[in-house]
Amino acid sequence: MLRKKTCVAMLLAGGQGSRLGILTKNVAKPAVPYGGKYRIIDFPLSNCTNSGIDTVGVLTQYQPLELNAYIGSGAPWDLDISNGGVFVLPPYQKGKSGEWYRGTANAIYQNIAFIEQYHPDYVLILSGDHIYKMDYNAMLNYHIRHGADATIAVREVPWEEAPRFGIMNTDSEDRIIEFEEKPKNPKSNKASMGVYIFTWEKLRKYLIDDEADKKSSNDFGKNIIPNMLGDKQALFAYMFSGYWKDVGTIESLWEANMDLLETPMPIDMHDKKWRIFAKNPGMTPHFIAKGAEVTDSLITEGCEVYGNVNHSILFAGVEIEEGASVESSVIMPGSKIKRGAIVRRSIVAENATVGAGAIVGEETGNIAVIGQGVTLPAGVSIPAGEQVDETYTFDTARKE
Amino acid sequence: MKDVMGLIYTGENDARLRELTLTRAIAAMPVAGRYRVIDFLVSSMVNGGIKNIGVIMQKNYHSLMDHLGSGKEWDLHGKINGLHILPPFLTRENVGLYPGLLDAVRSNSNFLVRSKQEIVVLSNSNIIYNARLDELVQHYIDTGADITLMYTKDPSMKRDEYGTYLDLDNSGNVQDVEVMPTHPTYSNCYMQVLVIKRELLNDLADKAVAHGLHSMDKDIILKLVQDKSARINAYEYKGKCWHIDSVQSYFKFNMEVLDPKLRKGLFREDLPVYTKVRDEMPACYGDDPSVINSLIADGCQINGIVENSVLFRGVKIAKDAHVKNCIIMQDGQVHEGAYIENCILDKQAIIKRNARLIGPEAYPIVIGKDVVI
């Protein structure tokens, strides 16, 4: 028998993240690189470690290879321990049945046996879609103090944006009285962050009931939470006021990266007491050559900069050749920007090459994206908002 | 290379490194922005397939132990083999301070006896190299020598009154050895890395120490060559190497890795150099910094001017500060309006507002750990 854990975390990492376009063609959304040396999943995993939660199940199903390899033994997050640790949980065959995860609630339902091994009192449900630093332990204490059956983390959003979110209507004691998914006329601006703590006994019962309901779409937001509210269970909203960013679209992923270049940084990444851990590629410090110009940027290990970089983020091993210019862009690991190329308001995915003199993106307009491993021929021009993968036909006539 | 183990000795003389080695062994000296000298040796061994490595500690070994930890970064935290830290301990035969390499080997003969591998790669820890040690061992096996020494023809390694030099015949057998000659006659500089059978090393060390001898080079290698009682040959390391034994040579190494060609030769893609990870965010550049020809580690915050310098993790350069030809170790700070040139700042050193410090190029100023100026 495994030793009892007070709280086990379950991280839903199975979504495709189709709104990230070609960036999630080969990788699951939580494995998408962010902030110069991280991947999105580093944030919830590091939050768990920093919150003292040492048992985490990561539920995967879409393009799991890169994510699995990245998580590995869990060592970067100190989750390579013998009593607990991080576990990758893909769907598996059970007796006569075996099926994909049908929804967020179904994914947890299919892993009841995993959770039960630890006899937890509480289960923390997370998603791999957001950039934020949060003390889950403080939220757990809140949950216990209120004797809640479920606690949902919320943050106040601008009223005009409220119709885009799942909104919690609460009483003066922060008890949730109503949940509205994307309401046209919101009564509150407390938006759900997709972070839940449940008292495990309660959640277990609702998961089993939900599974028996053939009409259910087996989703936390659509089914479990409304069902619990309908039964007058004690659901509380936990207010979170720090930095939180959904990185579900190309524009928001780009914005979230650019946020790190603000002074002061809206999310304190230098805080030694709440480090964000990541797998380290083990490269030399980066090199800035004579003649290079770097301003207002984040640059990490293994980069070699001979050209100009302004207001941009360079991941490990990126090379910027002489005369190349990178502006307001995100260049992911191992990519090369050749001599004289201009990259503006763009995301260049891993191991891509922007050929000499090529022009990517424009000063205004939507973000241009160069896909993983793509080689842009010299001299081509990619307009704002384009997504370039291997199948893209280069229109050389479109040159500026 | 299941049959090969590594043994690293870290007790070299460090007097000429001044304050830099007050609290650490040469092996633990921070270099190239994020590494320690020993990273190169341990990584070379690991890349060469060696999975059982002992590190003989001598004095000031806390910082080295802290750095190596369980050996996880080098994948040396296995059950069967792994990284073994061998601190000096007091026994009847062992008074704690080793007079020489042989005494150190003998004091740790238990580790040798318990190890299962037949062949040992023995290395000092004050020369930085990144070698194909598997090729060195293959050379040793193929030639059937009793001992194979690794050497370099790198002219920068040849210095008066220092080092050990080899005279070789056409097939690479050692004909003569010079130990610390006033003016070396031979240009083959022994790199203090050798391959030997585990049992032979144990035997030789035991006998030598029993006869009051301490020096591996003088009392074993030179003697065996002179007596012709063993076959000693040599293997040439063709890469660049650096002897870190003085403030000047330490400074020079760090300045040389700024050269992209030398850097790529040392940090080869096929021979990665592993080190302890600190989980710092990428370096942040402010609105108007100016950085020329410098290596900058993660966690740095750069707002001033940095020229020909190596900045370790977490260094802060304020606006209008100017840093030229400097090495600034972990968490160092240079405040507004300060100007420093040819300086080595040890960990957490702080140069306050408007201070000026200019060292001569040939004799860089060393600012000790935690010092505030």
Residue listed under structure tokens 């900069």:
A305
Cα distance between residue B281 and residue A37, in whole Å = 7
B311 contacts chain A (CB < 8 A): yes
Taking an 8 Å cut-off on Cβ atoms, the answer to whether A297 and B288 are in contact is: no
CB-closest option in A277, A290, A291 to B279? A277
CB-closest option in B279, B285, B295 to A297? B285
Taking an 8 Å cut-off on Cβ atoms, the answer to whether B32 and A284 are in contact is: yes
B283 contacts chain A (CB < 8 A): yes
Distance from the B292 Cα atom to the nearest Cα atom in chain A, whole angstroms: 5
Cα distance between residue B6 and residue B132, in whole Å = 14
A36 contacts chain B (CB < 8 A): yes
Q: What is the mean pLDDT of each run of 10 residues along chain B (373 residues)?
A: 89 82 89 96 96 88 88 86 84 68 90 94 95 96 96 90 92 94 94 96 94 92 94 96 93 96 93 92 95 97 97 96 97 97 96 94 92 92
Taking an 8 Å cut-off on Cβ atoms, the answer to whether A288 and B275 are in contact is: no
* Count of Cβ atoms closer than 10 Å to residue B200 Cβ: 14
Taking an 8 Å cut-off on Cβ atoms, the answer to whether A289 and B293 are in contact is: yes
Residue B227's pLDDT is what? 92
Query: E strand or H helix at B66, and its extent?
Result: helix B62-68
B297 contacts chain A (CB < 8 A): yes
Which CA distances in Å does B108 have to A387, B114, B202, B207, B208? 62, 10, 9, 14, 15
CB-closest option in A76, A263, A288 to B296? A288
Q: Which domains does chain B have, with CATH numbers?
A: 4-266 (3.90.550.10), 284-367 (2.160.10.10)
Cα distance between residue B44 and residue B34, in whole Å = 17
Task: Report the share of chain A in percent with pLDDT over 90.
Answer: 84
Residues B370-373: contacts with CB under 8 Å, at least 24 apart: B370/B346, B371/B346, B373/B349
pTM: 0.91
A294 contacts chain B (CB < 8 A): yes
Cα distance between residue A142 and residue A64, in whole Å = 34
Taking an 8 Å cut-off on Cβ atoms, the answer to whether A295 and B289 are in contact is: yes
CA atoms within 13 A on the CB side of A118: 25
DSSP string, A6-26: SEEEEEE-----GGGGGGGSS
Task: Find chain B residues with C-beta within 8 A of A290's C-beta.
Answer: 292-293
CA-based radius of gyration for chain A? 22
Is residue B352 within 8 A of residue B372, CB to CB? The reply is: yes
Which residue, among B145, B82, B69, has the nearest Cα to B115 in the 3D structure? B82
Structure tokens at B1: 């290379």
| Positions of chain A with pLDDT under 50 | 397-400
Taking an 8 Å cut-off on Cβ atoms, the answer to whether A36 and B282 are in contact is: yes
Query: Residues 21 to 80 of B: which have CB under 8 A from any A CB?
Result: 32-34, 72
Is residue B262 within 8 A of residue B256, CB to CB? The reply is: yes
A107 contacts chain B (CB < 8 A): no
CB-closest option in B272, B275, B288 to A295? B288
CB-closest option in B260, B275, B281 to A287? B260
Residue A96's pLDDT is what? 67
Q: Are strands B232-236 and B316-317 parallel, antiparallel or unpaired?
A: unpaired
CB-closest option in B273, B285, B293 to A296? B285
Taking an 8 Å cut-off on Cβ atoms, the answer to whether A282 and B258 are in contact is: no
Strands (E), A248-299: 286-288, 293-295, 298-299
